[in-house]
Amino acid sequence: MADRRLLVLVSLSDNAKHGYAIRQDIEEFAGVRLGPGTLYGAISSLERDGFIRALPGDDRRRPYELTASGRRALGDELAAVAAVLKRAGVAAT
């Protein structure tokens, strides 16, 4: 899974958010600023793969939430990252 997709899944792990809120959240917790094309490309890809779904929104803002398979995919990815960190001798926090 590409890093940008993982960042979106992590952002949505605590609650549903619309695109701009996802972008702000990622910048806050990861220090990564995703451009609109990169962010919405990741959202489209995750939605196509069934990892997130759009919820009814108001006007232009459309919130997204994790699906059950998205939550499993996030858990798998985080376990893989933890294994890499362990192998590298870096403590996961």
Query: Concatenated DSSP letters for 38-58?
Result: HHHHHHHHHHHTTSEEE---B
Whole-angstrom Cα distance, residue 69 to residue 50?
7
Q: Across all residues in the chain, what is the average pLDDT?
A: 93
- What is the per-residue pLDDT for 78? 94
19-62 per-position pLDDT tens digit: 999 999 999 999 999 999 999 999 999 999 999 999 998 778 89
List, in order of start, the domains of the chain with CATH numbers. Answer: 3-87 (1.10.10.10)
Residue among 12, 71, 8, 75 nearest 44 (CA): 8
Helices (H) and strands (E) in the chain, counts: 4, 2
User: How many CA atoms lie within 13 Å of 67's alpha carbon, on the beta-carbon side?
Assistant: 14
